[in-house]
Amino acid sequence: MDPLQLLLQKVLDAVVVMRRDGTIADWNGCAEETFGWSREEVLDRSMNDLIVPPRFREAHAAGLSRYLEKGFGPVIDQRIEISGLNRAGEEFPIELSITEAAYGGDRVFIGFLRDISDRKAAELALRESEARLAATYNHAPVGIAEVDCNGRFLTTNEQFTVITGYSIEELRSRTLFDITYPDDVERDRVLFREQWAGERDRYTLEKRYVRRDGSIIWIELSASIVRGGNGAEPFGVRIVREITDRKRVEEQQHLLATELNHRVKNTLAVVQGLAHQTFKSDIVPVDLMRAFEGRLSALAAAHDLLIRRNWQAAPITAMISEALMPFHTDGHRFTVRGPEISLTASATVNLALGIHELATNAAKYGALSHPRGQVEILWCTVDGELRLTWREYGGPQVVQPVSRGFGTRLLERALARDLGGTVDVEFDPAGVTCTVVAPLKRITTAEPLAAYGLAQQPAA
């Protein structure tokens, strides 16, 4: 077999053999698949009329004539990209390489052609994707920066320069720690080192930046790392949102809440003083006055807890701990266990008063009045409800009361009403049991427990 014929059969690209007069001398099976014409159909026909798009035919003919006249041309032995035409009259991109060789005793042009439609489509999709990414990157409402393993800025988007006041060129000569407020640097360094060491995938924090003009702003930062494959250098991504206005509002709210709490406690003190002046000991028994003062104290403690949480929400364990504080003569007398949940301000106050009422009754008549008495406070969440149980044991035998007192009515009526659930108090001879059932959607918030530094695990 002729070497050229063998080449035509073995090569994986389309091969077209063109005589010097522009007619086709041969082409292989891959050319048949690429252009849709069989070998027998194209032999001795003009290549210009078959596979060159009409708009390029005049230039193709002129180029061939020029080469035949001068002996050289711009496309010989070069790899170029042009458009081809298939049998259906459809244009498509091809990669072409032409060389001159001997064939059957004549000099011919051999063209190696490859359909690059898929590659071109992929390149176009990539360019469009990169354009969309660039538009998103530069017009995002948040600042975005890329940094190296030392925290040095590699690139940023436009919003990041607006937030910091520095140009991209100025930032490239700095690290993220250079523009961080000095008091916030060490905390950020620790998290940064842990992330680059692989100890954490990402982290978020609130910190301060010192802008180029010297002003101080608060930002919310989300930090992650892109670890590229194939030897590519990893880089850190920092997404930044300015929260200066929010922090100012939060500070103002905290000041107002603190002032409100101070005034509420002053009001409670006034109420307590009025009670002492109005209800003399010879009119109102001392025990009743102490019960009244205890309820005022429980209310004040609940307010203190909420003020520390910006009057938004409180963990249930913290609420129980505050309510039991006056009764903790022995730390081993209480068992408190259940999943951590975040209570609304209203639920915090009402449950605190209820727990205080139960503890007061236990200290006077129940388990806490006996040296070996114990109290369990256990809760769980089932079917969208909180189910909390107060159970006493080890105390004196409980006697069923003839009538419900104020404390029991407070629990069974007021507490149940305010929580939107039910409260059941049982005077079992072995110890008082109180069961509270309330819908979670009424008494809990969606605020993440991470804001309190708490894990969602049962409290010991």
Q: What pLDDT is stored for residue 389 in this prediction?
A: 96
Same domain, 315 and 381: yes
User: With a threshold of 0.75, does the pTM exceed it?
Assistant: no
Which letter, b or e, does each residue of 32-70 get, where b requires 16 or more Cβ atoms within 10 Å of its Cβ? bebbbbeeeebeeebbbebbbeeebeeebeeebeebeee
> Is residue 125 included in any domain, yes or no?
no
Residue by residue, pLDDT tens for the chain (460 residues) are 556 666 666 677 899 999 999 999 988 889 999 999 999 999 999 999 999 999 999 988 888 888 888 877 778 888 888 999 999 999 999 999 988 888 777 888 989 999 999 888 888 887 777 666 666 566 667 899 999 999 999 999 989 999 999 999 999 999 999 999 999 999 999 999 999 998 988 899 999 999 999 999 999 999 999 886 666 788 999 999 999 988 887 777 666 666 666 656 666 665 666 566 666 656 666 666 666 666 666 666 665 655 555 555 678 998 888 888 878 655 678 999 999 998 887 888 888 888 888 988 888 889 988 888 999 999 999 999 999 999 999 999 988 887 766 677 778 787 888 889 999 999 999 999 999 999 999 998 754 433 333 333 333 3
Gap between the Cα atoms of 440 and 347, Å rounded: 10
Domain that holds residue 403: 247-459
Q: What pLDDT is stored for residue 364 in this prediction?
A: 84
Residue 334 burial class via C-beta count within 10 angstroms: exposed 0-12, middle 13-18, buried 19 and up? middle
- Split into its structural domains, the chain has a count of 3
CATH number at residue 164: 3.30.450.20
Same domain, 199 and 341: no
Q: What pLDDT is stored for residue 458 in this prediction?
A: 36
Same domain, 52 and 109: yes
Same domain, 14 and 114: yes
Bridge-based pairing state of the strands 342-344 and 313-315: antiparallel
> Is residue 127 included in any domain, yes or no?
no
Same domain, 359 and 260: yes
CATH number at residue 265: 3.30.565.10
Same domain, 182 and 327: no
Residue 241, both tokens: 């949102």
Gap between the Cα atoms of 287 and 90, Å rounded: 100
Q: What pLDDT is stored for residue 361 in this prediction?
A: 84
Gap between the Cα atoms of 209 and 141, Å rounded: 18
Q: What pLDDT is stored for residue 455 in this prediction?
A: 34
Same domain, 306 and 206: no
Q: What pLDDT is stored for residue 69 in this prediction?
A: 83
Same domain, 161 and 309: no
